[in-house]
Amino acid sequence: MRQTSRHNVVVLPDLDALSQEAANRLLSAAEEASRTRGKFHLVLSGGGTPKHLYRKLAKPAFSSMMPWSDVHFYWGDERCVPPDHAESNYGQARDILIKNVPVRNKNIHRINGEFAPEIAASDYSSRLKEISGAGQEWPEFDLVLLGLGDDGHTASLFPGHLSHEEQTRPVLAVTAEYGGRPADRVTLTPLALNSARQIIYLVSGRSKAEALSAALGEQYDPIRWPSQRIKPIHGSVTWLVDEDASKSL
């Protein structure tokens, strides 16, 4: 493992080591949140890279130590498909992680991807407000997991999509073509994400190298590189990347 001071990038040898480091950091954050606040608000990411992390968390080495009764699951984005659809981010996490650990059903706060996009976004926004403390529109997330697409998108914040609503609403319906996957989506916006205590990016594979280099580069272009919009007000951002993804850094 090597670390660069700029942008707090941690380079791991491969995806397994990356997932192990992410699991260690997640466990530490969960224990601290449970001990000091009695709840751990965790935002999950979709895509291929987090699958390996979720498998590790479901194994006894981590599962036996996690304060599951205090863990609340949220999603950074969701495709507008039913929960049993192969492209459902909730369905992926449910099958790999959630059904294999003793989390409380009432602590699972999924985006209803089976709804029409605008309805799903409005519904999720309303439920986040209900969960939150007095005067808050959404919970203060303890840890947010994010990924990075080959095109530079993160959550469902895509290049070229920067609107007034993204800066004023915590949840947004978006339409974006990517990798032949369902185009209608619902995403948390930087407004909500930037209130998090901690954000961890998980980036793996040579196909991400160019996007990672540009996103962390000197040129500030948040329209082209949406991850540059993620700047927590009081929290931290850590990039966990494997050697292949770091080739252009």
Asked whether residue 6 carries a pLDDT value surpassing 90, the answer given is no
Q: What is the pLDDT of residues 161-207, one digit of tens each?
A: 677 888 899 999 999 877 677 789 999 999 999 999 999 999 999 99
Mean of the per-residue pLDDT values of the chain: 94
State percent of the chain over pLDDT 70: 96
What is the share, in percent, of the chain residues with pLDDT greater than 90? 90
Name the band, by pLDDT with cuts 50, 70 and 90, for residue 237: very high
* Residues near 194 by beta carbon (within 8 Å), at least 6 away in sequence: 230, 231, 232, 233, 235
β-strand 77-79 against 184-188: which pairing, if any?
Answer: antiparallel
What's the rounded Cα separation, in Å, for the pair 72 and 39? Answer: 7
- Give the per-residue pLDDT at 36: 98
Encoding tokens for residue 58? 């479901």
Average pLDDT over residues 108-117: 98
Put simply, whether the predicted model's pTM sits higher than 0.85 gets the answer yes
Question: Sign of dihedral through CA atoms 33, 22, 82, 227?
Answer: positive
**Per-residue pLDDT tens for 50-104?**
999 999 999 999 999 999 999 999 999 999 999 999 999 999 999 999 999 999 9
β-partners of residue 69 are: none
Which domains are seen in the chain, by residue range? 2-242 (3.40.50.1360)
Residue 1 has pLDDT above 80, yes or no: no
pLDDT tens digits along 201-229: 999 999 999 999 999 999 999 999 999 99
The pLDDT confidence band at residue 133, using thresholds 50, 70 and 90, is confident
Q: What is the pLDDT of residue 207?
A: 96
| Residue 3: band (very low, low, confident or very high) from pLDDT cuts 50, 70, 90 | low
